[in-house]
Amino acid sequence: MQSFHIPVPKHPEASLEGFLLDCEITLGQETNRPAVLVCPGGGYVYCSPREGEPVALSYAARGFHAFVLRYSVAKDAAGFTPLEEVSWAIGHIRENAQQWHIDPNKIAVCGFSAGGHLALASGVLAENKPNAMILGYPATSAPNIPGADFLLKILEGREDVTDADAEKYDLVSKITKDAPPVFLAATAEDLLTTYGALPVANAYSRLGKPYELHIFQYGPHGYSLANEVTADGSEKMLEPAFAQWQELSVQWLHKTFGPPVFTDKSTSRMMQILKDLGYIKTSGPKADFA
């Protein structure tokens, strides 16, 4: 695997982290793979490490090239700077698709909470849009309500926010028939679900757009993978039922993008290397040791 960090141009506080699977070895599968770009949550105050690299690596383990966008937060997010950054990231991945062995038409964005808001924004507002979206317990609006208006204040960069400002960040109202397919996962006990995942699913349903929705009964906000990798020492962040969302999303991506293509080639290069080193000589149909 090749990993790297790339600073976002003109946004030194933001970066794109990449995890590219090895493609120089014949693995019996087409080398141009789909990619998943992960947008961690964190209320636009920070990028949660629990919802970044571990999630990207879990998709890499399932055969996807994976990326993490560490977008601008807090004062640097004013003017919805993260939207510019996620659009740049998607465009940059497409521009480098050939050398990175990525199918440019199979790029999914995966976001959690505020990162889910950003991921959805990439699908409905960005210049460079993903081909699919995976939203984990997403925030889909920034309401102008006391106690819940901090997102709006961060994105607007000022305290005196209005209902008109809030309308700009209500992404459900901006979902159209051009929006990419979406996969959603949340819990019934998460109070944000009623204002996040469900409205997105309802909007897709009304438009006749493809979507998949999973509402698990138990659990708080912020599960990430809901396993030991992302629990960060808290048993409250462990939930086997919710942990199924990631495997379900992989199955959904295979249905949305098409299943991996296998060519039934040998996955081993040992015999060829032995021949190249002179340990095996070929005589007729059989290989003999030199």
pLDDT in tens, 8-42: 999 989 999 999 998 655 555 557 899 999 999 99
CA distances to 4, 52, 56, 91, 92 from 87, rounded to whole Å, are 19, 18, 18, 6, 9
What's the pLDDT at 27?
53
Cβ-in-10-Å burial (0-12, 13-18, 19+) of 108 comes to: buried
The stretch 51-57 carries a mean pLDDT of 96
How far apart are alpha carbons 56 and 37 in whole angstroms? 8
What's the pLDDT at 266?
59
What's the pLDDT at 239?
81
C-alpha 156 chain-centroid distance: 25
The stretch 191-199 carries a mean pLDDT of 88
What's the pLDDT at 26?
54
Q: Which of 150, 171, 173 is nearest to 161 (CA)?
A: 150
Residue pair 130/143 in contact (Cβ under 8 Å)? The answer is no
pLDDT digits (tens, 9 = 90+) for 254-283: 999 998 877 666 566 777 788 888 887 765
Mean pLDDT of the chain: 90
What's the pLDDT at 267?
61
Q: Which residue type does 197 have? A: A
pLDDT digits (tens, 9 = 90+) for 230-253: 888 888 888 888 999 999 999 999
Question: Which residue segments constitute the domains of the chain, with CATH numbers given?
Answer: 2-264 (3.40.50.1820)
What's the pLDDT at 289?
47
Label residue 101 left, alpha or beta by phi (over 0 means left) and psi (-120 to 50 means alpha). Answer: left
**What is the percentage of the chain residues whose pLDDT exceeds 90?**
70
Residues 6+ apart with CB under 8 A from 202: none
Residues 6+ apart with CB under 8 A from 132: 106, 107, 108, 109, 180, 181, 182, 183, 253, 256, 257
What's the pLDDT at 90?
98
Lowest mean pLDDT among 95-109, 160-174, 250-264: 250-264
What's the pLDDT at 237?
81
Residue pair 2/20 in contact (Cβ under 8 Å)? The answer is yes
Q: Which residue spans within the chain are E strands per DSSP?
A: 2-8, 11-20, 33-39, 65-70, 102-112, 132-136, 182-187, 211-216, 280-283, 286-289
